[in-house]
Amino acid sequence: MTDSLRRAILSAWVWMAVILLILAWYPLMLVVRLTDRDPVRYRTGRWFRRLGVAMTKVNPFWRIELSGQDLEDPRHPYVVVSNHQSMADIPIISHLPWEMKWVAKTELFALPVIGKLLRLAGDIELERGDRRSGARMIHTAERYLKGRCSVMIFPEGTRSVDGSIGKFTDGAFHLAIRAGVPLLPIAVDGSRNCLPKHSWLFGDPCTIRVRVLPPVPTDGLGPGDIPALREKLRELIAGQVAAWRSSTLSDTLQSSAGNPS
């Protein structure tokens, strides 16, 4: 059997297992949601993240290394920001042992079953480029933060195509300052080739590293501080990725004027 045929067979097996997990999780999530009395659906959200963990467990291509994930109080609210290398980042980051509501693009909410699970978990829909959708996202996210539940945002807005870290948008930083909560940076590396963009085939077996970095306070900051805060978080995350790769900060940061589409 050739390597390409073996990869195709294993990839098909993993996707079949993932589909079966998703279908099995829907009735489970309905039951959990009916018994979840928390206004922010904390327990329901945690069960949805466990689906992400289960999806990685059936995947023989991935090995995940977590570090820095021991928070003193998992219900302390943060605006969590991470670099974004592939769709694999979502189930991988779901291994972190606390709940956070994810800001996700509208297209994901339109997917069969997955969209229903996102809504049951209380994740936040965002139509990119739509100001009214952005305002609704901020309002919903503030409600979760007041309910002592963190909110997760990919500030690059899209996946990196070359592994570099693109420019960050302002939304997460505006939200953190407005809500008066700290930012929690997360660095991810190794996931770009494990699930290549526009391909259903998994890449070579790989190790994906996730590190939760120390929180960054926003006390006393205002809208005028957003640009400096945004770049500080981008460089913190890029610095960790650069350290893993034994490369320089400038090599890790995307130098172009915008993110790749």
Listed in sequence order, the residues at least 6 apart from 123 whose beta carbon sits closer than 8 Å to its beta carbon are 45, 48, 101, 102, 103, 104
| CATH value at residue 162 | 3.40.1130.10
What distance in Å separates the CA atoms of residue 84 and residue 111, rounded to the nearest whole number? 20
Specify if 136 maps to a domain: yes
Query: In this predicted structure, what is the pLDDT of residue 255?
Result: 64
- From first CA to last CA, the distance across the chain in angstroms is 36
Specify if 259 maps to a domain: no
Domain count within the chain: 1
Query: In this predicted structure, what is the pLDDT of residue 227?
Result: 97
Residues of the chain with pLDDT under 50: 256-261
Specify if 260 maps to a domain: no
Q: CA angle, 245 as apex, 190 and 49 as ends, to 5°?
A: 30
Specify if 178 maps to a domain: yes
Query: In this predicted structure, what is the pLDDT of residue 257?
Result: 41
Task: Supply the pTM of this predicted model.
Answer: 0.92
Pairing verdict, β 183-189 and 206-212: antiparallel
What distance in Å separates the CA atoms of residue 66 and residue 68, rounded to the nearest whole number? 7
Query: In this predicted structure, what is the pLDDT of residue 259?
Result: 44
Residue-number span of the structural domain to which 9 is assigned: 3-252
Neighbours of 77 (CB within 10 A): 24
Specify if 261 maps to a domain: no
Pairing verdict, β 100-105 and 150-153: parallel
Specify if 166 maps to a domain: yes
Count Cα atoms within 13 angstroms, Cβ side, for 123.
Answer: 24
